[in-house]
Structure 1
């Protein structure tokens, strides 16, 4: 009985769950043996290296920017689990022939803060400023007496690709300054977008488009014109923000248009929301908070500074690790794969499972436990998988149910492998017959106790038998019996639907004996019933199990039978 109860509890075919039944956040150390963790970490590192080479050397974006950032964070997390805390540096080795250059001053990274981290940062500092975190490619520009003499990609923060020749071709990057200053500027080359609203179009591909423009051998004039420049710092300029902004404006840069001081009326949350939901000429992925006064440039390094932090936008798609795969059989026999995930959060919604909707999609993607998938919210409510970002090296064995085994006329009775479909049939029946408070949980308990073993097995159940089910006492048993008794008075049309009559049939066509006598040709003669529906209806009314149930209903004096 225990085995039967477990089988009926939730029918899982080929389900393989990593780490038992405990849910943990994906950024924690995976519950794998160290050897497997090392193998999967190496695989992820190889994927990141491929993405980096395509992005920086060929100008191709093989993965969405938001997912790439999450993948790099996951790589760092897994490496830390193995005791390796070396930060990811995508361009420590540059493979293009254009050469590399040292940055005059290090391009600092930024620590990422959550809501609580932003509150701590702002509560301990005064005179703070904010900028949009423009989503493009970082660049260092060096001017000597007003002339652009060097442009360097971010690289690893200390050294990057020599972009000088290409920068001279970009209309947005001045080759000569209006004032003959010697200076170093740090900023972002971005893809110019018209009235871009980040919250409405998160996957713009803007970062990849800029990388492509910088990597192409001979980009067109239109491509060069689409590359804009946002200067976000002047390392060897004035240390005070207000003075720095005024002088950048005098040089023709628009930094001041997108750099604002924080106050009680317009705090960090205000600007973050405004830039996330408002129109901008570039893609953004968050905001950057900075102190007005910062250390002199000689104290800079490529490590994240203490005087600035990044506050990213809420994730609009998440990189989720598959914990297990479950195959559910529905009322009509449709097999639907369900992915169990290590929980992720999107738009404040915690997501731990997502349907693939069809067995064909699972077969095409071949998703196994340990795989990493991209998850979004359709209509801001329904989670859906949009892609398999990468697959685990270790492929767990899965056995999916054969779609030929389950269909519209299978599993009216509890036989081996029929638990899930029968449960779905019973849940649908109670809904069609108006049974109040009788749902999947009730039917599951009755199946587990052996009280209900077929679609109409509840009709003769006594209160004593009902009380054999877990959680059903005398009061609940009496209430269930009352619901079962009331269901007998449901309309003939409701009963036809509850039994699973295919579309095209109707109670208005006659009683059961009349419909049972319809041939395929009779059904197809009805308006709206084509060959496929006619076949389904003829098969339904002639099926031995269906006819057996009809006889039971006739003997129980159910109207129409």
Structure 2
């Protein structure tokens, strides 16, 4: 059987929790004084337990409640014992962390794209507390999604004061059968987001009014729509102030148009003052328009106008992502921009044509095609074109990329590369004309595999795909 190293995991509010290795103020002993029985090598311990012992001997703070278990039954017993004992600790916890002890076994098991296969977090049930529902508000997001939010009598929950909790959507409202003035049970979903678990109907006040979704948008009074195949209720008025505000905040993001200084507080004022009704209005703002805003001033106004003007140089994929089409994130925006080098080409494509693009499925294709069918969105594109935004790929760059060493080739990255991060490797491949996707398929040309490559490597080998190291990739590009 395997040996396991186990210790309590701190929650997001925990202070000096499990696994933290903070330097102690006490003096550290010499390595030669360490007990040889517990450490295979003073410099290179071979187990998790030995590493923790070494760190403690060197003066680092490690969790004193750790335990070396010899079986899965021991792990279960430890988990059960600390279900209540953890409440007496000086920091918050949300579970127990279990790791295979032997480093060699850890290395054999490796990682998935994001997580180790040799460690697992065993979570305890989330803390639940009762409180009073004082009212329900309805928030409108960037995509027009209307979310009911429970406004609560403030209550202590998992180390913080909670006064609001999500009610998700109309279906969840109906399921809870929630009424004004109800006593409800609240917990933190994933130990982070407060949510309503259930209603204590037996404590309901007489003649309490049932809470239902509004029929009209709380921000603009437009009729709300709930498609039969969706749980979300939406406002579809593109001029809705809440949608406009969310769209502009998204537009200004670093990975979109990267408008430095255009934060949420300025966007809110711009919308409230009626200075902008869509992202296109940003490009007609002047310093005189901005200076009267609260705490703006001449200097900030100059900088913001300059930052907005500079965003016109952002490339077509960034503009496509910034438009905020449903299901189109940065990766899908790059993929679509590569296949449709102009906004006109994308707007003219049918859902079937869009769905032929690798990694773009029917749902995404339908959402993209529907977006371009909306007259208000067509007007927006015309205004952005007039403002000088990049709605087409740079022909020189596109031709240079296509003629590059990796022109037309598809790559997948897996594992940890020696010197390049994933974004750096992706940028190199795309600059040389290649395309990077997230999943291995028959269409994949090369798999670039680093240390601790996972299941993608196995699948690529099974499909006979060429496996490259970082050095091989650089040589292929011509940067060896």
State the TM-score, normalized to the length of structure 2. 0.49
Which protein, 1 or 2, shows the higher relative CO under an 8 Å CA cutoff with sep ≥ 6?
1
**Structure with the greater alpha carbon radius of gyration:** 1
